Every structure is written in structure tokens, then in C-alpha cells.
A and B are shown apart, each in its own frame.
Chain A
Amino acid sequence: MQKDLGGPIGESLRCAPLKPHRLQEFGLNFATDGIQAQKIHIERQIADFFPFVAIQATASKLCMNKLRDHRVGGRKSLAPGNLRNSTTQIPPLNEELPLPAEISSLSAYNGDAEFHLAAIVESSDDAIISKDLNGIVTSWNKSAERIFGYTAEEMTGRPITTIIPPELQGDELMILAKIRAGERVDHFQTVRLHKNGSRIRISLTVSPIRDLHGNITGAAKIARNITPQKETEQTARRLAAIVESSEDAIFSMDLNGNITSWNRGAERIFGYTLEEILELPVAVIIPPELQADESALLGKIREGRRVDHFQTVRINKRGDRIHVSLTVSPVKDEDGQIIGAAKIARDITQQKKLEAALHTSEMLASAGRLAATVAHEINNPLQAVINFIHLAKQQSDLPPRIMRYLVDADRELGRVVHLAQQTLGFYRDNSHPVLMPVSGVVEDVLAIYERKVRYKDLKMERRIEPDLTICTAQGELKQIISNLIANAIDASAKTGRIIVHARASRDFRSDRPGIRITVADAGAGIAREDRNKVFAPFFTTKQDVGTGLGLWITKDLLEKKGGHIRFRSRDSERSGTVMSIYLPSEVPAKCADRVA
């Protein structure tokens, strides 16, 4: 038996907050054991969090009372879980209701609860929209207005495709097909159009709306605006790409100093892969003597301070030391708590080398200027004095004692000349190369140091290939050998031994013929930390007596001629140093007619 549930309801029942346009009118013939609901308005909103049903019915008061008392009405039954069931499975009511008692809103009976739920829909940050199976919008909440720009009045009754970009219209058919099949669409990320034409990225959840019999009558859509989230993601991706492609090492660590991220730049500079170093203490790349700096640095980070362009040294996987410029900033979580540190390390090893080279060349330049000035000031008076002594020696009536003085003075001046040329002799011997016996040159040089050798009681061993000759500028060869022998003598302890070895040799690269001269001593050796400095200008281990120019000039002379100098040294007691030079011979044609 079907009865019309028509009729007005009292004012007191009209307090429902739902607007009529927000209700789905099903025109449902609500038949339950002699009770007919002529018009029942159902809005079924299924949100992720609040599946609920609001029923608005035109029914007799008695009917509604029954509905309320037995199944649908009442706060108790409006609990979300209950409502879903009660909507679809309303059990039969036994009592026939008097007619007509029109009730415009069941929600009136459940005013508080419905108000609450409606308020949730209204205040939701997500757009909550319902549509029928033809895709016509049947409800549109405040957030939908905010997100899409259309008011509820504008959209109700219009196709949902209004907000779907042209190229995605096919999606709607797919969604509707799923809905018809009773399936949900969960967290579907897509794009919709704002009223102003801009595109909005949304995450969409669509669920079928069922009537009380379980028939699908439409769809409820919940759309979350994920544009800001997407933008954040994009920004994060962009930043991640920048970090990954950076030439600099960018890595992070927690407040215990354990590494939490490691970019490609860090892999390249330090040699460790991400897998190798993740969660290891950052100390693995810090030299032992600088470990304390790191804890001081972490202290600053804990205080929220940055460290900018701090130049320091780190160790790569191979154990090589690399110069880095370090910038360290605190990393904060969402609450602003410092949870670690981000480090950017720039490899400045090359820059440091260039700086050192520049420094050296500046030193060379100033050395050159100094030497030029001093050389002029010393060499000119020397020339005059040598000339005067020579003139004095020519006097025929000189007492033998005076003559001896003059001869001694001349010889001592010879030492001064030699020293000046050795240290300040920036003139280049541009005399023609001469073919000369190497042993003769070595003997000439040894003669200069004879007194020193005697004083130290050194054993001077000569191992010079017989008939070994070289075609070169004599002055330069003398200077080279002299520098090596002077160093060997100075390094030797008393009664030590020096071996001068010379043989024909060829350059291993160019195969150019030349000579190799080796001067070995059993002296103090060169300290490990000094070994890369021995060829630097002004570097000396001889304290007050060394100029720090000898080996530098030797190397310079040799390299200009296409030769080279190497050495081997140990710094343990009396293990000594072996200096070895290779000097190429000039083309024989150049000196064929100038045999010395």
C-alpha cells in the first residue's frame, strides 16, 4: 500500500541548514509495509572521513517519527557507520502513518547532527560535489566555489565537464563508467579548470551515490586542490636536480655527524658512493688533526649559526688530501628545530695549486728583480777589484810576500765571483756550446770546494765514464754540478762519502742523447715535509748560510735546456740524498769546430 507522504510541517522543523539545491531529489517511492514516502530527498555524501547520508523527505509526521524512532532518525542512528547501512537497508515499518503530514526535511528531526555534518561539508577544505549519472552537477560546496571559482548557483544543473579541460573530457566518461559499475575512483590526480581559465591540479575521489535500494543514482566527488603541493613537489624536484647536477659536493648530516644525504658532486670529489657513506660519520672524510674543528662546527650549527666559505682540508677515499671551501648551514624540521647540517664543499685544490704557482712566480719575479739589482751592484766593483789586483800583480819589483797576498786575494775573489754567479748569476751563458770532457768540468768544480772537502775529511769518489764528453755551455754545466756538489758537502757529516757518477744517457721520452750526473751523499737527508719545496726559490735548510737559490737555478737551467733533475732522499740518520740530473747534449754540428 502506497501512501503519499505530503503535507506541511511545522516551523519548528524548518531549521535545517541544508539548502534545497544541495539535496538530491530522487522522487523515490519509499514503500515500506504500507508507508509511502512520496518524496524523499536524499543527499548522500561519501567523504573519505565522513561517510554519511542526509535524508530529506516529504512524509507524514508520523512516518518521519517512525523513521526516526526505528531506523533513520535520531542522533544515535545518525552516527556515520549506522547511517550508511540504514540508508540502503531501511527495514520495513509496521505502523501505517496518518496522511498527509508533509515534512520538508528529515534533517529537522535530527537538527544538531545534520547541522554538524553539513557544517563539515561546508567547512571542508576539499571541494565536495555531487552529480547525477549524466554528469550534471547536483551539489557544490563552499570549497568547490573557492577552488573552481564558480558559485553553487552557477554550477548546479550544469554539466561537470564545465570544469574539465578539453583534452581530459574522456576521463569523465571513464569515471562515469566506473561509477555506473559501482566502483570508486580513489586519489586520481588530474587537472581541472578554474572559472578564470587557470589549471588546477586536483586529487579526485569519486564514489557512487546509491539510493535506499542500493541503486546507483549519481556520484559524489571530493576534489582536493594539490596545486600548491604539486608546486612544492616541483620545487623540490627542481632543487633535487640542482643538488644532483652540482659540481660541488652537497651533503647533509644529523646532529651526531652521521651523513644523511650525499650528491653526485660529493661522490666525484670524495670518491665514496652514496651507498658507501650513508649513515657513516662525516669524520671519515676529515683528516685526523682536524677532527676537533668538526665538533666545534657542529656546536655552531646547534646554535643555529652558519659557517661560510671556510677553507679547510678533507680526505678522499684514496686518502688524498683535497682543499675545500666549506659552507655549512643548519637544517631545520617543520617546527623549526635544528635537526642537522647541510654542507656544501667546493673542491679548491686546483685553485690552491694556482695560487701557489702564482705565489711562486711572484717570488721568482721579485727574486729576479732583487738579483738583477744586487748582481749589478756586486759584479761591477768585483770587476774593478779583479782588474786592480791583476795590475798590481804585474808590478816587477813586488816583494814576494806582497805578491803572495795578491795571489791569495785573487783566489779568494775567485770564490766570491763563483758565489755571486751561482746565486745571483742571472746572466745566461749564451756563449756557443763547447764539446768538453765531463771529468774536466767535474774536476774544475771540485777544485773550488777542495778546502771544504778537506776540512770535513770527506771521501770524494768519482765514477765518471772515461772519455765522456758533452756539448753544452760550459758555465752552465759548471754551475749545475757546483750546486749539486755544494749541497752534498753541506749535508755531509765529517768523514762522510760523496759519489759523483756520470755516464752517457738518453732521455726516456725524447731519446735525445746527453749525460746523466748523479751526486750521492750519506748526509742528513731531506725531511719528508721539505721534499716538495727543495726546488722552490728561497727555500733552504742551511739556515744562515743558504740562499735557497741553488737548486731552483739548477732546475731552471736544466729545464731550459730540455733536461731535468730528480732526487731520492731519506730523512733517517745518514741515509743521504741522491740528486740525479739529465742534461741533453747540443747538436754536435753546433760545436764541432769548438772542441775545448
Chain B
Amino acid sequence: MTIPLTLTYTACLPAFLTENNLSLLQGAAEPRSEAGKLTGNSKRILVIDDEASIADSLTEILTGYGYDAVACYDGQAAIDTARSQLPDVVISDVIMPGLNGVETVLAIRELCPEARILLFSGQGASMDLLNQARDHGHEFDLLPKPVHPSELLKKLSL
């Protein structure tokens, strides 16, 4: 019997910080935005990027600022998570293998029409996808990658 070696399983788990971690963050030197209050901010944010280091670090930053952030590493997993979590905000990379960012957020918008969607990308090709979406009546904000976390937090607080 041959075991297929090419199967890939994607696990999508909410990231939680421990109390300990939170207390560490509280002492950070970085000035905090309004959204940075650790309590009373229960906005659910779905972070989607095929590069795990980006998705995870961003999720960790957002969680540190009191958001309920979840990282996903591909479009399909993000859609499945959105179905169960109903996020308030979706932050997604655009150019990804499988479902691209635009396809993903369009599917999520079907599930959670109220969700605010922010795309971020470091590639010119993203513009083509966004223009295609615009042709079908879908407008999205695009942030240039890399986006500084403080810029992102500012954007989220608006």
C-alpha cells in the first residue's frame, strides 16, 4: 500500500494569547491607538496570508491590541473559518495559491456581508485582480505591503 506523500492538510486555529503574554504587551513602549485597549474590544479579525510568518505575526500583534484575531493560510480555510466565526474585519493577502485573495473575500462577503475587508499586497498583479473585481461592482481598499502595523492599526480604528 502506497501512502500519497503530496497531501497537504491545512489547520486553521484561533490564536490565543495567554494572560502572561498580555501582561507583557501591556508594557510595550509603542504608543497605542484607541483600538489598542486590551479590554472592551471584541472585533473579530480574520487574517489571511499564505506566508504563515506574516499571518501569525500580524494575528499576534492584533491580538495584543485586544482584537479577536485568527490566522488562516489559504483561501478555502479562510472561507470555512469565516462561516463559523463570522468576522467583523477580514485582512487578506491578494496573490495566493489556490483561491486568490479577491475570490476569497468575495466568498466571505457572501457569508458575512457586514464584514469590513482590507486587502494588502506587495505585487502589481494585485491591481489586475482588483480591477476585475471593480468591473463586477466590488470595491476594496488595498494597502501596500509591507504595511507598518501602526498604519494598519490606525486604519482599523477609523
Contact residues of A with B, CB < 8 Å?
A: 368, 371-372, 375-376, 378-380, 382-384, 386-388, 390-391, 393-398, 403, 414, 417, 421, 425-431, 475
Does B24 lie within 8 Å of A427, measured CB to CB? no
Most buried by B among A384, A394, A421, A429: A394
B122 touches A396 (CB 8 A): no
Known A393-B29, A395-B28; judge A417-B61 contact (CB<8 A): no
For B121, the chain A residues whose CB sits under 8 A away are 427
- Inter-chain CA distance A92–B24, complex, in Å, is 157
- Which of the 9-residue segments B1-9, B76-84, B106-114, B143-151 touches chain A? B143-151
Chain A contact residues: helix, strand, loop or mixed: helix
Quote the shortest CB–CB distance from B30 to chain A (angstroms).
5
Contact call B29/A398, Cβ cutoff below 8 A: yes
B57 at the interface (CB under 8 A from A): yes
Complex: A5 Cα to B144 Cα, angstroms: 130
4 pairs of A and B residues whose beta carbons are closest in the complex: A396-B27, A379-B122, A426-B124, A394-B28
For B141, the closest partner residue in chain A by CB is A431
Residue of A with least CB distance to B121: A427
Q: Are B127 and A383 in contact (CB under 8 A)?
A: no
| Residues A397 and B27 in contact in the complex (CB < 8 Å), given A380-B54, A430-B130 | yes
Query: Which residue in chain B gives the minimum CB-CB distance to A432?
Result: B141
Give A384 to B5 CA distance when docked, in angstroms: 29
For the complex, is B123 an interface residue (Cβ under 8 Å from A)? yes
Contact status A427-B126, CB under 8 Å: yes
Of chain B, the residue at the smallest CB distance from A475 is: B144
CB < 8 Å neighbour of A380 from B51, B58, B125 = B51
What residues of chain B have their CB less than 8 Å away from a CB belonging to chain A? 23-30, 51, 53-54, 57-58, 60-61, 64, 95, 120-127, 130, 141-150
Quote the shortest CB–CB distance from B108 to chain A (angstroms). 20
A396 touches B26 (CB 8 A): yes
Contact B149 A395 (CB under 8 A): no
Chain A residues closer than 8 Å to B142, beta-carbon distance: 427, 430-431
A375–B146 Cα distance when bound, in Å, is 10
**Is there an interface contact between A429 and B61, defined as CB atoms closer than 8 Å?**
no
Shortest Cβ distance from residue A217 to the other chain B in the assembled complex, whole angstroms:
102
Q: Which residue of A lies closest to B53 (CB)?
A: A384
Q: A383-B122, A394-B28 are in contact. List 10 more A-B contacts (CB 8 A).
A: A383-B51, A383-B120, A383-B145, A387-B53, A387-B149, A393-B29, A394-B29, A395-B25, A398-B29, A431-B142
Q: How far is the CA of A510 from the CA of B154 in the complex (A)?
A: 37
Nearest CB to that of A400 among chain B residues? B29
* Min CB–CB distance B123 → chain A (angstroms): 5
Residues of A close to B27: CB separation below 8 A: 395-397
Contact residues in B for A403 (Cβ distance below 8 Å): 29
Within 8 Å by CB of A427, from B54, B60, B127, B149, lies B127
Given known A-B contacts A376-B95, A384-B57, A396-B27, A391 and B123 have beta carbons under 8 A apart: no
Distance, CA A403 to CA B29, complexed state (A): 8
Write the chain B residue with the least CB distance to A373. B123
Nearest B-chain residue to A428, judged by Cβ: B127
Q: How far is the CA of A475 from the CA of B144 in the complex (A)?
A: 9
Q: Which chain B residues lie closer than 8 Å to A428 at the CB level? A: 124, 127
